[in-house]
Amino acid sequence: MSLLSALSIVCGLMLQLNFSLLSAEYCVPRKTVFYQSNLKLFKEDGIFNYSTMLIRDDLGVLLLGAREAIYALDINNISVQKAAVYWRVPEEKQRECTYKGKHAEVECRNYIRTLHSLNDTTVYVCGTNAFSPTCDYMTFANGQLTLKGKQEEGKGKCPFDPFQRYSSLMVGNDLYSATSINFLGSEPVILRSSSLALRTEFKSSWLSEPNFVYMDFMGESFDSPDGDDDKVYLFFSENAMEYDFYRKVAVSRVARVCKGDMGGQRTLQRKWTSFLKARLDCSFPEPSLPPIVQDVFLLRHKDWRKSVFFAVFTPQSSLSQVSAVCAYTVSAIRGIFNEGKFKTSVAVETSHVKWVMYTGEVPVPRPGACINNVARKMGMNHSLDLPDKTLQFIRDRPLMDEAVHPLTGGPLLLKRGPLLTRIVVDSVLALDGETYNVMFIGTENGYVQKAVNFDGEMFIIEQIQVYENPVAIKILRLSSSKGQLYAGSESGAIQMPLCNCGRYQSCEDCILSRDPYCAWDSSTQQCSSVYSLSASPKTAVQSLKEGNVSQCPSPGPIAAVDLALIPGNNIQLPCQLHSNLAQVHWRFSDLHLQTNNKYYIYSRGLLILNTSTSDAGLYFCDSVEQINSRIYNRTVAVYHLQVFEPTVAVSPSPGITVTKYFIQTSKTATTGSQPDLESEDLPMAENQSDTGKISRLKVAVALLSLFCLSLIGVILWLWKQGHWKCFGFAQNSKGSEGKRPSADYTHIKNRNSEIKLLGAEAGRPCTANNNHTAVDFKGNGEYHFPPLANIASLDGLGYIHDESEI
């Protein structure tokens, strides 16, 4: 078992190395930040489904809706609960719900799905309430959350089914909602609950088994030369009517209604007269069924025409593992609705209906248009005045012929691996004076991807694991003013800062991160947030589009670490890169080292097997990273191997600073069979070069390499069949994002001796950060050898912690 797991780990490593060569690297997050327990988390025992949020900056709270509970949490630290209120389902109601065939403990509970601000003191709340949606008013005053107990009918405002997606929006005192209005969930509706309630016509040409995801408001009457009205935009997917296909195909849509709509007089009475919809296009690199919109975020611009909707799409077929983000400007969507052609249905043969472009005459006022100056000139002041001709036209033809195309023609981001679920976007003013849109995208396995698109170049700055378990992120909210991101899942809510520039410790690392929030502050020698630069920005360095590190102070010479070489021993030279996009290159006296029967290059360093005196010399570990088609090559570690001769003084080579490192071993990790590293006695070399053991290892490594090479061959062949422009090896991201170390990995981890470097220069890559250095040099002629003896058994490949550490 342990052999198998070790095998899979080693192969994982080898495959990974090879695939990073093939992948268009922008699709792989540059940095992976694993779960950190200092993340601010909120959850209450016994409460689940934290999936509704409302940020109330004015009250300093985040309102969080969960199953049968609503919380007011401190907006600066959501671990601090300021108040809570519980809204449970009465027993009788729950019984009623189970009689109707629903699951008592799952569906027959009250899931809070709606939280909308009404005014400074009151919030509108709706819950599924055991398949009997109900709404209420809630206040937050004197540190207390109070439900008013109004028990308003929630049908059409909130879904019956807690698993059904829906969307709603409060505009003034009007609630716009898109959900199912019946118990079975079969009657979809887009409803405005107001003094003049309006809804969609119940026709499959209007809505066909829709899945509603997002709604937002756009104040288009502002500064409008044609006297246009404000609008509500809605994003959803539904069964396509425009495709001739042997089975149902879903498509993504954007629809809109006008705020001032009052319905028609005779035709479309109490129905929308301004409901128009169009297909949303977001083409994936490979021909496939239309992708499905999962979430949308509206990034508002001062000029509403330039506001942009960012949408996350996932494939329709579960076979594919590619997600995308596409963006659409409000003016592009308006263009289609205001000027585009309509689709119309024509009967083909007997019962079959086909949707084609309508080429006949379009009545005036234009069907679906809001009341504007054109209509007013014709004496029509509201939709009730619209002529039947216009209304009949729109009742039968709500679909536009042309699709809305993304801003950049194609996706802003394509990512292979665990599917993307939710998105929010922040715009950041960088030092170059440009504004960058930074996307924060939740995944189905508890990660947040932080990504940007630099003039067409897709780039994932980092992926941050925000949940310990791989749960889907169900909601994301952003507070630009607080610089915080809030996420919710079944198991709890978390809060994380939008940037953590301190993660980047050197100038090069700070620049190469290409994080618009971060710049290298030369005066403090720190990677700092652009909002908190100490001195004038003149001393700060940032290079987002180019990733040009030439302005960084030239890094001093890398200190060579002296290591003793005992012929016949194995030796391990640690070197860990700071980027998932970088490749490690090892050099030894003009030789470019490759994994073979002598060298083994793995993610954390180099292993030299059965050393001899000819292996003495300088070893360089280079990090080679491709940023924007340019290669950045920097040496991150140097080792000086010298044949062990205790009497000979060490003389440093010219140009190389020799630093003396003192190594302390932690006692707990040293197992009995290993040399006693605490003692001052020289360990016997023979103990570590047991030839029998080494040859066993060599055979194992060779076999493994063969096995992995054949695997690589197969996958290379598979890869050649497709032609992904953006190929982030699925297993790669899945493996490293999703899986937690299993018991097997943990057991390998525990065998590893922890040896800590003391006195290493802070911030120097591969030294200060590395607490697994295995070889030791004290500089006083006394040498201590690492617990490499155990390496011979595969079980003891202690240097691999788990496959996620790549």
Ligand X SMILES: *[C@@H]1O[C@H](CO)[C@@H](O)[C@H](O)[C@H]1NC(C)=O
Q: How far, CA to CA in Å, does 618 sit from each of 348, 554, 601? A: 79, 22, 16
The pattern of x and - marking residues 527 through 546 that bind ligand X according to CB under 6 A reads: -------------------x
Coil/strand/helix, residue 581: coil
Q: Which of 47, 83, 84, 118 binds ligand X (CB under 6 A)?
A: 118
678 touches ligand X by CB under 6 A: no
Q: Of the listed pieces 116-124, 195-203, 211-219, 363-371, which binds ligand X according to CB under 6 A?
A: 116-124
From 79, 239, 321, 731, residue interacting with ligand X (rule: CB under 6 A): 79
In Å, how far from its chain's centre is CA 15? 23
- The residues in 584-613 that bind ligand X, with binding defined as CB under 6 A, are 585, 587, 610, 612
By CB under 6 A, name the one of 290, 315, 417, 683 that touches ligand X.
683
SS (H, E, C) 590-656: CEECCCCCCEEEECCEEEECCCCHHHCEEEEEEEEEEECCEEEEEEEEEEEEEECCCCCCCCCCCCC
- Helix spans in 42-146 (H): 91-99
Q: Are 440 and 457 in contact (CB under 8 A)?
A: no
Asked if residue 468 binds ligand X (CB under 6 A), the reply is no
Nearer to ligand X, 364 or 684 (CB): 684
Other CB atoms closer than 10 Å to residue 432's CB: what's the count? 12
Please, what is the minimum distance in Å from the beta carbon of residue 674 to ligand X? 8
Three-state DSSP state, 232: strand
Q: Which is nearer to ligand X, 73 or 412 (by Cβ)?
A: 73
Q: Which stretch binds ligand X (CB under 6 A): 401-409, 424-432, 682-690, 760-768?
A: 682-690
Tell me whether residue 240 or residue 496 sits nearer to ligand X (CB atom): 496
Stretch that binds ligand X, among 115-123, 340-348, 398-406, 711-719 (CB under 6 A): 115-123
Residue from 36, 57, 104, 120 binding ligand X (CB under 6 A): 120
Alpha carbon 755 to chain centroid, angstroms: 34
Task: Give the separation between CA 294 and CA 314, rounded to whole angstroms.
Answer: 7
Q: Which is nearer to ligand X, 8 or 695 (CB)?
A: 695
The three-class DSSP label of residue 798 is coil
Interface characters, 146-185, with ligand X (x: CB under 6 A):
----------------xx----------------------
Closest to 213 measured CA to CA, from 420, 43, 367: 420
CB of 304 to ligand X, least distance (A): 25
Length, in residues, of the chain? 806
Q: Residues 471-510: x/- map of binding to ligand X (CB under 6 A)?
A: -------------------x--------------------
Shortest spacing between CB 690 and ligand X, in angstroms: 9
What is the DSSP-derived secondary structure letter of residue 454? E
Q: Residue 624 interacts with ligand X (CB under 6 A)?
A: yes
Please classify residue 242 by burial: count the beta carbons closer than 10 Å to its beta carbon, then call 0-12 exposed, 13-18 middle and 19+ buried.
Answer: middle
Q: Cβ closer to ligand X: 303 or 432? A: 432
Contact at 8 Å (CB) between 404 and 281? yes
N-term to C-term CA, the chain = 22
Toward ligand X, which CB reaches closer, 612 or 746?
612
Alpha-carbon span 419 to 317, nearest angstrom: 12
- What is the footprint of ligand X within residues 95-114 (CB under 6 A)? 111
**52-56 sheet: strands from edge to edge:** 52-56, 61-66, 69-74, 77-86
From 249-257, 260-268, 658-666, 683-691, span contacting ligand X (CB under 6 A): 683-691
How far is residue 320's CA from residue 730's CA, in Å, rounded to a whole number? 10
Structure tokens that stand for 156 in this block: 């059409």
550 is a contact residue toward ligand X (CB under 6 A): yes
Is 694 or 788 the residue whose CB approaches ligand X more closely?
694
Mutual angle of helices 2-22 and 691-721, in 10-degree steps: 50
How many angstroms separate the CA atoms of 20 and 477, rounded?
33
The residue ranges that bind ligand X (CB under 6 A) are 40, 48-49, 77, 79-80, 111, 118-122, 137, 162-163, 379, 381, 385, 490, 546, 548, 550-551, 585, 587, 610, 612, 622, 624, 633, 675, 683-684, 686-687, 691, 694-695
